[in-house]
Structure 1
Amino acid sequence: MLLPPLEGRTTQVIDVEDVAAFVVSATVTGAVNAIGDVRDLEDVLRTVRAATGHAGSVVVGTEERLVAEGVAYWAGPRSLPLWLPPDMRGFMTRSNARYRRSGGPLRPLDETVEHVVADERERGVDRERRAGLTRTEERALLDALAR
């Protein structure tokens, strides 16, 4: 499994059902960051691996090598989800304090991940996608990074 650089990287995950519940019942106005708590990206990916039962090897690519191999940040074709350029690390450190004070729910990460994994399996993990690496692209990159 190919992963982006992890050291010092964070992410914020929120379940869409939590956001929907907040929007329907919110009594506040103005800007509210409806987003999860700041978490280490490595911990989130470890949770995803556990939920999928992945026990295979993991290769963490370097920033320079991934860019040189044509891997894109964040989303779109040939991208690694949740990978941001080094100068955008602050993007995944937004405060959700107002959301939480306003009654915004945050279910446990493992519960959200379990729902996502179940949905992915139900819709077919090998289906065509508009973002990310295809299985073939990931395998080719893993081979290239091993050289």
Structure 2
Amino acid sequence: MMKPKIGIVSDHGGFALKEFLRKSLEESFEMVDYGTKSEESVDYPSLVGAACQKVLAGDVPRLIALCGTGIGASIAANRFPNIRAALCHDEFTAEMSRRHNDANVLVLGGRVLGTDLALRIVQKWIQTNFEGGRHERRLQLIEDLKP
């Protein structure tokens, strides 16, 4: 039986937590690692942007993105149409990001979260389905927003 795919990407600030999550999830999921490969300083917009393009191309259905705080990775990911990146700090926001917003990118702060909490957040995000209904209309309203 094939394991479901999940992408994961980080900069140097999220590297340690990325490695922990990747190793913790690889028994149940095919973890596709889009970098970085060390704690050497790198630019998160390039890495997160390339990984979001993999989501949009259908290479992976969902992505976990990390940087030091999660803020920069979240901003970078949300530059892409049809990427709905949610920066989550607890299980409730992770659940709601899926249930109400159909988030396809979970963003975490590697320097903000401990490993146990981060793993619980990821597990909740993976297990939660989009409710649809009135939330579909709201997602369309978001897509229709013009600057």
TM-score, reference length from structure 1:
0.28
Indicate the structure whose relative CO is greater, using CA pairs within 8 Å and at least 6 residues apart.
1
TM-score (ref. length: structure 2): 0.28
Query: Which protein has the larger Cα radius of gyration, Structure 1 or Structure 2?
Result: 1
